[in-house]
Amino acid sequence: MSTLTVPGARLHYEVRGSGPLVVLAGAPMNADAFAPVADLLAADHTVVTTDPRGINRSPLDDPGQDSTPELRADDLARLITHVDAGPAAVFGSSGGAVTVLALVQSRPELVRTAIAHEPPFYALLDDREQLTAQNEDIIATYRSGDAIGAWKKFMEMTRIDLPDGMIEQMFGGDRDPQALADERRWFDHELRGTAYWEPDLAALRAAASRLVIGIGEDSTGQHCDRTSRALAGALGIEPVLFPGDHTGFVSDPERFALRLRSVLE
């Protein structure tokens, strides 16, 4: 475990194993979410995980700074350069997938293979204006103090069905202060930047031979299934299925690592 000072922040990062460099990135998910997969890949790869700026162990100089894919991509570029084992295969999920896409656009020479797993941005969807309005309502609901209501609206918008009472169980009652701080930062300073990001399709098409769009096998019909397929269609590439849903690397790390290794090879 180490810390890298970058403009405006200090990044917590972890390095495992030896071999070709693989970076696993989330947003707002931190390094802990990827630890089981990282441990498995470290048998034959150098694996880097990190807390994105402003989340968990990566503090900001200005806590009010918004998190954008471009800022996070610059952080990854600096991290890859610092580790000095690149170019890297970079896997990003959710907001981390948007980070990876921004990295491919800005610093393609640092990326050997880019895997964008379920990027959630709206720009390529026909109903993006409706989604933007829903997103603003979700943020306003959270800021009013109704976290449970905000999460219920978020799950409805993203078309994720959870058992009755699960949202209250996950996001109600006494919670870890750090988890609450990360949640608040995501709603206040990160959700907009990720969801409203607009890709440079020409730049991504130029890197299409090194780009993989990943979708969870169990994500059919969900928001990120739609966004991922829209991006793959715009780039003229076929998406690749991974085990599980939006967080398959958490629920089934063994199968996920096997699939990820096969893609990397």
Same domain for 6 and 82?
Answer: yes
Same domain for 136 and 186?
Answer: yes
Same domain for 35 and 99?
Answer: yes
Q: Are 248 and 146 in contact (CB under 8 A)?
A: no
- pTM attached to this predicted model: 0.97
Domain boundary among 156, 172, 192: 192
Q: Are 83 and 21 in contact (CB under 8 A)?
A: yes
3-state secondary structure (DSSP) of residue 6: strand
Same domain for 118 and 161?
Answer: no
pLDDT digits (tens, 9 = 90+) for 159-194: 999 999 999 999 998 999 999 999 999 999 999 999
Domain boundary among 177, 192, 207: 192
pLDDT digits (tens, 9 = 90+) for 39-95: 999 999 999 999 999 999 999 999 999 999 999 999 999 999 999 988 999 999 999
Same domain for 105 and 8?
Answer: yes
168: containing domain: 128-192
Same domain for 146 and 187?
Answer: yes
Q: Give the torsion sign (CA, 62, 25, 189, 211).
A: positive
Question: How many domains does the chain contain in total?
Answer: 2
Q: Give the torsion sign (CA, 37, 169, 160, 195).
A: negative
CATH of residue 78's domain is 3.40.50.1820
Proportion of the chain above pLDDT 70, given as a percent: 100
Same domain for 220 and 161?
Answer: no
